[in-house]
Amino acid sequence: MAPFNTSDNTYDYFPEYDENFTLPDYFPDDDEMFQWIYLIDKIAQVLEQINNILSIICLVINLAHFLVMIQKKMRTSSINILTIGISFCDIVVIGSTVITIIYYKLSADICWPQFTYLSRVILIIAEFSKDVLLRASPWLGLAMAFIRALFLLFPLSRRIKTLSEKRLAIPHYFTVNGAASVIPAVTYPLIAVVLVVQLVKMKKGRSKLFSTRASDASEKDHTTTLVILMTITFFISQLPIGLFMWLRLIYPFHYVIQIALNHGTKFTSILFTINATCHCFIFATLSSQYREVVREVFCCRKGKNVSGA
């Protein structure tokens, strides 16, 4: 097999490098490189099928979750308001994936008009919305954890208490976007540690006192547990996105790694979809108010005044 020809004009394509710069050789022969590429492509095809199925299922679940969260009973705290924003971001991101799936399925039909102006506009809007809201979602989650941590650190501060109440309210590109995913993913668990420490302290202090407001305390614990669980799922789903972007900078000429990172979007998309769907089940497990609103919305039950997490 003829050797794989990279380019003799590297300087023309990458003027920021020295004129005598040569591409690094990561493989002893081209056959090994093509074997890795073939393996990565096969794995990517499986991940793509899994992602397609999960996206459609999870979009339906998240739409139901969003419908519950926007009910008046659920819009009672900043935690729930931020959760509504996170849910909206999740729906748009997963929805853009579903739109892309539908487009390429239709494009496979030879009778379907290929690359029309309208179809390209729809794809561009979907990709733009996905890219923007994929960055916004972890920051909303970070704000949610930060507000809850402040509330536990300064429980007697009126100013902090108002935060938890209802309120209306090319290389440089990859570096910034990578940081936008990595910083919340790393900071989120640190704030979660503060939540856990404060929760342990509160439980120890409460065990020494006999309070008639035991049910209220339990509900606050559920809110903290809810934030901690969402922290864990955010960390798992968001950290790989930022790391993949930074790996593009570290290995700009590693052909196999670049292909793996291109296909890595399928893996991160699966993680994001699972994370978005976990929010629904976390709320359903920990919030009695959420479960009551679900019954009202989907079972046509008349609501009761239930105070939940």
Instruction: Identify which of 165, 180, 194, 175 has the alpha carbon closest to the alpha carbon of residue 135.
Output: 180
Q: State the pLDDT at residue 63.
A: 92
Q: State the pLDDT at residue 149.
A: 79
DSSP string, 75-128: TTBHHHHHHHHHHHHHHHHHHHHHHHHHHHHHHTSTTSPPS-HHHHHHHHHHHH
Q: 131 to each of 18, 94, 134, 269, how far by Cα in Å?
A: 33, 11, 5, 12
The segments of the chain whose pLDDT lies below 50 read 1-11, 168-169, 210, 212, 215, 303-309
pLDDT in tens, 104-114: 888 777 777 76
Instruction: Identify which of 39, 105, 25, 54 has the alpha carbon closest to the alpha carbon of residue 273.
Output: 54
Between CA 43 and CA 63 the distance in angstroms is 30
Please tell me whether residue 165 adopts helix, strand or coil conformation: strand
Instruction: Identify which of 5, 9, 10 has the alpha carbon closest to the alpha carbon of residue 33.
Output: 5
Q: Compute CA 226 distance to the chain's CA centroid, rounded to the nearest angstrom.
A: 16
Between 255-286 and 78-107, two packed helices, what is the crossing angle to 10 degrees?
A: 130
pLDDT in tens, 268-305: 778 778 877 887 888 888 778 888 888 888 875 554 44
What single DSSP character describes residue 109? S
In a domain, residue 308? The reply is no
The CATH number covering residue 165 comes to: 1.20.1070.10
Q: How many domains is the chain partitioned into structurally?
A: 1
Q: Cα–Cα–Cα angle for 225, 77, 134, nearest 5°?
A: 70
Give the position of tokens 């020809």. Answer: 5
Whether the CB-CB separation of 279 and 65 falls below 8 Å is answered with yes
In a domain, residue 252? The reply is yes
* Torsion angles phi and psi, residue 286, rounded to 5: -100, -20
pLDDT in tens, 62-93: 899 999 888 888 887 777 888 888 889 889 98
Question: CB under 8 Å to 138, separation ≥6 — which residues?
Answer: 180, 181, 184, 185, 188, 234, 238
Q: Which domain holds residue 282?
A: 29-299
Alpha-helical segments (H) within 108-213: 117-153, 158-163, 171-207
In terms of phi and psi (left: phi > 0; alpha: psi -120 to 50; beta: otherwise), the region of 23 is beta
- How much is the pTM? 0.58
In terms of phi and psi (left: phi > 0; alpha: psi -120 to 50; beta: otherwise), the region of 115 is left
Between CA 153 and CA 171 the distance in angstroms is 39
In a domain, residue 233? The reply is yes
Please tell me whether residue 77 adopts helix, strand or coil conformation: strand
Q: State the pLDDT at residue 305.
A: 47
In a domain, residue 309? The reply is no
Whether the CB-CB separation of 147 and 163 falls below 8 Å is answered with yes
